[in-house]
Amino acid sequence: MATVAVRHTVEDFDSWRVGYDEHGTVRKEHGCLGATVLRGEGNPNEVLVLTQWPSLKEAHAFASDPSLAEAMKRAGVVGAPRIEFYDEAE
């Protein structure tokens, strides 16, 4: 199993969350198994999203889907996100 960590700042968390939830069907189409959304303690517009995937292949396919960048822009992501890929250690 793979995990993707995406960290970014958003203009407004509540508006961002609507866009994030709307894009959920695309995550599922790419095989997303689940996600956790976290907010920064000192800045509630600092967001960390952890998503789980069957493999790194599905995770990378989702991350390179053009709809992701479009959804982030519409949802109010500020600047470039930090995206990291992790593979489960056996």
Q: What is the pTM of this model?
A: 0.92
DSSP string across 18-69: HHHHHTHHHHHHTT--EEEEEE-SS-TTEEEEEEEESSHHHHHHHHT-HHHH
**Domains (range + CATH), the chain:** 2-87 (3.30.70.100)
- What is the DSSP-derived secondary structure letter of residue 90? -
pLDDT tens digits, one per residue of 55-87:
999 999 999 999 999 999 999 999 999 999 999
pLDDT tens digits, one per residue of 1-40:
999 999 999 999 999 999 999 999 999 999 999 999 999 9
Give the separation between CA 47 and CA 89, rounded to whole angstroms.
25
Q: What is the pLDDT of residue 28?
A: 96
Give the separation between CA 90 and CA 77, rounded to whole angstroms.
34
Q: What's the pLDDT band for 90 if we cut at 50, 70, 90?
A: confident
